[in-house]
Amino acid sequence: MKIIKLDAINSTNSFLKELCRDYALENFTIAVTNEQTNGRGQQSNTWESEPFKNLTASIFITELHLDIINIKYLSFTASLAVYDLLSDYNIPNISIKWPNDIMSANKKLCGILVDNRIKNQEINSCIVGFGLNVNQEKFPEYLDNATSLTNLTNLNYNLDDLLTALVSKMENRIQQLTLKDFIKLEEDYLDVLYRIETPSLFKDKNGVLFMGIIKGISDFGNLLVELEGEIIAEFGIKEISFV
């Protein structure tokens, strides 16, 4: 494990992507920064973070040899690693909101971005970026669903200790992935999936509201929702959101 500490960077994921173009990075090379100026989220979203307050880091992982058809298990792996970490710290009401946001009750604690390197229908390496709200107490008004570990527990946390613990949890879950223990990964993921088997109000990409019940994840990583008449519909990222 090699840790690269940066004072400020636009994005730790982007930094590692550029670095691995020029160098053969060792497995579990980590980039961590005090300030991320242009953090990236899913589907070109941005991730905002107060400097020196939160854990903003990315991990380069190689030698995966994961068939592209099993890509959803990599997302499960990353989100479960954070779930495992927060469970050890006794953070309350933790769940995973599909595909890989980490929630406490209805508030977002952590965003995860996975960048894959695919060759010959196989994922050999990836970069997993984590933006975990830790000691930040106030958030912009438009982030009204955000919270932090400090807000939840009234404690302050050492960011280096959290990173070390997170890497350990990620190593454990990656071992499951490389051993192709897909059944256990999916069981663990569904056990803590946000609002699974709970009637919920959704909005589709056209703004239409509808009721549904999350039933699971498809083979392609899409969300399976039971609609009226016991019809199971499949939704991709940005095709559905909670209301």
Q: What is the DSSP string of 114-159?
A: EEEEEETTEEEEEEEEEEE--S-----GGGTTB--HHHHHS----H
> In residues, how long is the chain?
243
pTM: 0.94
Which structure tokens are listed for 142? 């438009």
Boundary (domain end) residue, out of 191, 216, 232:
191
Residue 61, pLDDT above cutoff 50: yes
Domain of 217, in residue numbers: 199-242
The DSSP symbol for 193 reads: B
Q: 111: domain CATH number?
A: 3.30.930.10
Q: Are residues 158 and 230 in the same domain?
A: no
Residue 100, pLDDT above cutoff 50: yes
Task: Return d(Cα 168, Cα 33) in angstroms, integer.
Answer: 19
Q: Are residues 105 and 61 in the same domain?
A: yes
Alpha-helical (H) ranges within the chain are 12-22, 72-88, 149-153, 159-178, 182-191
For residues 72-85, average pLDDT: 98
For residues 169-198, average pLDDT: 98
Q: Are 201 and 211 in contact (CB under 8 A)?
A: yes
Percent of the chain with pLDDT over 70: 95
Convert the pLDDT of each residue in 130-151 to its tens digit: 999 999 999 999 898 999 999 9
Q: Are residues 148 and 224 in the same domain?
A: no
Q: Are residues 230 and 163 in the same domain?
A: no
Task: Return d(Cα 196, Cα 216) in angstroms, integer.
Answer: 7
Q: Are residues 172 and 223 in the same domain?
A: no
Confidence of residue 46 (pLDDT cuts 50, 70, 90): low
Q: Are residues 20 and 48 in the same domain?
A: yes
Q: How many domains does the chain have?
A: 2
Task: Return d(Cα 114, Cα 130) in angstroms, integer.
Answer: 9
Q: Are residues 173 and 215 in the same domain?
A: no
Q: Are residues 238 and 154 in the same domain?
A: no
